Structure 1
């Protein structure tokens, strides 16, 4: 009996050792959240950091390098995507590398450790929203990259620029995805930079907008991941607009000779009020499916098993934003810290 117990004990130790040596199961794509601050009566940034940590949110997008918002993140394990404002691009593009170094040190690294910065989103929707700054975009990115190289940080902090989905002149079917030819003078050198540095193409994707602007052709179910109809495209099948849009970008990059560049969705979301189909149920359905697919590494038909890293928009409602009423109702949390709907980030 003693010998039997000894053998069992040895076997258990051996099996436990094997389990320790086995590689971990694949980790899903991170699900982050955008921290927009165009609002009054928002909680203090220190409370926001506590809210993020208590909900297991480990990645956050800040649209600007704002000292008040950045400071409370210092010393946390939260990884940051930090925006470089459009209006700063000419100064960075025309300045010396030292100008970019000074900007990084004064606006970011003075408040948080470089180890917490995952991405710099240089400009937001510059090509269509602020075309004046388009010529400065890639030169500014290159100067910032040279500055990061000088600091030994170019391998850990990736540079890119967030683009609206409308930089595509064609997105349907996905295999016909193509960039607006009028934007290629900027996009081509940008894609070259992304490929050379192993950086992602950043895109803002909103099936909600596609739905409300084209209800005759886009069904609500297709936008919300609950369509029973399948859209065939060559040998691939699509049952939701999110996947179709991501793959249209992948095809568009390949059309210009750039294969394999990863895609990060810097904004996506669904409003809870303010217009057609804008309600809590649809917001939960959309954001819940986006998060679940990323966490489970589902990927897209063109890139199966490669979870799409996303930043859900938005942490809170932003009551000072202009535009349509729904623009002010993307908040996942109320300002008191209570979830607007039961969304899981892990």
Structure 2
């Protein structure tokens, strides 16, 4: 596909979230479900609710093409199973993959992030050696297109890559992920790209991983704070984000932004899953992002987030909770009265 948009236009569009004065809020568009609305009709739902950023977990043409020309910014996942091909191939092969799978469907101005692999470290370890080589090839392909300063490249990770997370000042990465994670952090620092993490205080609460995580603390409704090195933490979200900040600093990497590529709360599935709790958690995540509240470690620096999920996904395996994260029903009605702007 011939890139016809000027770099100036793309640059201005890519800066729009910075100029708005608020951290961007997006929504994950998972599609592991039967009877979802047609992707084309989803665009109207997004526009009517002020949702201007979407995360797609893979560049499925049926889901991707309807976004063309809508102005909705996209974060697109590079599937784990593609990583060996991209890592072992040439830069030209990565360029062809980008052109064929992404830029043949949308303009470069709509692509904000490429998330190369999702929760590979520890959860899908076969693909671990391919993360950084695939990222480097994709980045060089973007350089050829003149997009390397426009499209940021990273990889999305589960919170379990931390060996310690509480209190947040003890945040540290597992030793076995460091051989891959350190080169990744070097790349992120060199390219001004964020560390992408998936954070779910809900699962910390229901699995009782920490005695201090009450329902109120997990859903921003606690009247008490936890003190850590002079910083006051009133909720689990801030604590989890700052644990990653401390972990990066522990390895000598300061100033790398954290983008939360997944977070959310289910409306059902068992204890703790309810529309009331989902509204409390997700509503506060959105308000704090739009208000640039930041975290105790980085006050006033809003955390860019993607809420999970646009719809319930009844095709998900695992716990019953995982089928009930939808913010909207398939009829387009909200599960609770959350606002995005």
TM-score for both structures, normalised by structure 2: 0.93
Paired positions, count: 323
Corresponding residue number in structure 2 for 1:120: 114
Q: Separation in 2 of the partners of 1:64 and 1:328?
A: 19
**Residue 248 of structure 1 pairs with residue 243 of structure 2:** yes
Secondary structure of the structure 1 residue equivalent to 2:335: coil
Of 231, 239, 244, 1:236 maps to 231
Provide, for residues 281-301 of structure 1, a one-character-per-residue CA deviation record: whole Å limited to 9, x for no partner.
000000000000000000000
Structure 1 regions of 5+ residues with no counterpart?
A: 1-23
Q: Separation in 2 of the partners of 1:48 and 1:315?
A: 10
Secondary structure of the structure 2 residue equivalent to 1:128: coil
Corresponding residue number in structure 1 for 2:275: 280
Q: 1:293 to 1:336 in 2, by over 3 A?
A: same
Aligned-pair CA distance for 1:228 = 1.3
Of 299, 320, 324, 1:304 maps to 299
Provide, for residues 300-344 of structure 1, a one-character-per-residue CA deviation record: whole Å limited to 9, x for no partner.
000000000000000000001101111000000000111111000
TM-score for both structures, normalised by structure 1: 0.92
Secondary structure of the structure 1 residue equivalent to 2:70: coil
Aligned-pair CA distance for 1:216 = 3.8
**Residue 30 of structure 1 pairs with residue 24 of structure 2:** yes
Corresponding residue number in structure 2 for 1:40: 34
CA RMSD of aligned residues (A): 1.1
Q: Separation in 1 of the partners of 2:83 and 2:40?
A: 29
Structure 2 regions of 5+ residues with no counterpart?
A: 1-17
Matches within 5 A, 1:199-238: 199-214=193-208, 216-238=211-233
Q: Separation in 1 of the partners of 2:44 and 2:213?
A: 39
Q: Separation in 2 of the partners of 1:216 and 1:118?
A: 38
**Residue 137 of structure 1 pairs with residue 131 of structure 2:** yes
* Structure (1 or 2) with the larger CA radius of gyration: 1
Corresponding residue number in structure 1 for 2:159: 165
Q: Separation in 1 of the partners of 2:221 and 2:146?
A: 46
Aligned-pair CA distance for 1:235 = 1.3
**Residue 265 of structure 1 pairs with residue 260 of structure 2:** yes
Provide, for residues 95-127 of structure 1, a one-character-per-residue CA deviation record: whole Å limited to 9, x for no partner.
000110010001000000011000000000001
**Residue 105 of structure 1 pairs with residue 68 of structure 2:** no
Provide, for residues 253-273 of structure 1, a one-character-per-residue CA deviation record: whole Å limited to 9, x for no partner.
000000000000000000000
Secondary structure of the structure 2 residue equivalent to 1:127: coil
